[in-house]
Amino acid sequence: MAKIISVFTDKMEYLYTDIIASLRQLPLEQREYIFGYEDEEDMEWVMRMASYITVEYIKYAFDYGDKTYSLRHFLKTDSDDERMLQQRVLDFVLKYKKRELDNWGIKLPENHKFANIDMTNIEKKLKGYKLTEMNFFEQQNIHDLELIKAIVQNRIGSSKKISNKKFVEIFEKYDDFIEELKDKSLNSDKDMVFYSIALFTFEWHYPVETFYYIARIMEEEGIQEINQSDLILIFGDVDIESQFGGWWKTSSRMVKERFVFLSSLFRKDMNPIMKEEIRGLVKEMIVLGVQYIEILKCKDGRKYIDWFRTESNISDWASFFRYYDIFSIWERKEWTPKRIQNIRKLFEMTSMKKL
């Protein structure tokens, strides 16, 4: 029997087909609603859902095995200049992360890494703050990438704070950054996994590609306003009551899959009934992803996500990402005044509290 995906390792093929098989065993009503089942399943949708779940499984496994180090581990030199630079970066990112948690209404437990670190001076910060290579990579680029910093500081929506000329410049630098990640991902299995997850993480938190795509739709169809709740559903933090039972509070993280829905959900002439059906489908796909991550278990009682972690390795994950190609969501941006206005509006609609 030929492989479903030719680039998969044998183990990845086994894992992926196992996820597909489990999706095909869902209750009939849920299957029909999400995958359009009647006499035959819509395999394109099944595989799309299986891929979304696999990304979450790989990210979990990657995070689980990503070792933590003190901040000092990442310093290139022991110079005062670099220590002070990292102090400024750390202060900025910790303030942003705390604000993010506050906006979600999350209280930090006493043993949380942000709550129990003595931050009275840089030496204690360097020693006390533990982070992984991915944490450090994200932290540096939150601070160093002008676009991400402008988003975090809630400046991107204002032409007074970011002129149109500057706006185009910082987006070009971001495009250069993503292109560099794409090129680096081709170097090895480790790089393929690391930089694919890096783009997933950035687009999850800062939906640059998603908003650019929507801004183009708005321009092409002459749309002046869009529904904020639709925007949040696509990328934000959501509370969903599933029609198949239960309330689910989670983040909408279908980073690549969301692009399937954008042109329909934000189309000007979309039939209201059809649009509501699309909203319902997005919600149930998000819920199904959460179910697979949080509650699905193996016969031996282990969580399915932990079984995947122990049964796979970085070569398997790399083979998946070569097929999945998360970098396909990225494109170099072309700007018109209207497109700039639209994307400013999108970020303004979803902006967080100022630092």
What ranges in the chain are assigned the alpha helix state H? 10-23, 28-35, 43-65, 80-104, 122-128, 133-144, 146-152, 164-184, 189-205, 208-221, 228-235, 259-265, 272-294, 304-311, 314-324, 337-349
Q: What is the pLDDT of residues 214-237, one digit of tens each?
A: 999 999 999 998 989 999 999 888
- In whole angstroms, how far apart are CA 222 and each of 93, 108, 226, 339, 345? 38, 44, 11, 11, 14
Is the model more confident about 113 or about 278? 278
Is the model more confident about 351 or about 147? 147
Rounded to an integer, what distance in angstroms lies between the CA atom of residue 235 and that of residue 27?
27
Mean pLDDT score of the chain: 85
User: Which residue from 168, 203, 215, 207 is spatially nearest to 345, judged by alpha carbons?
Assistant: 215
pTM reported for the whole predicted model: 0.87
Residue with tokens 């002439």: 269
Rounded to an integer, what distance in angstroms lies between the CA atom of residue 254 and that of residue 244?
20
Q: What is the pLDDT of residues 38-51, one digit of tens each?
A: 555 688 889 999 99
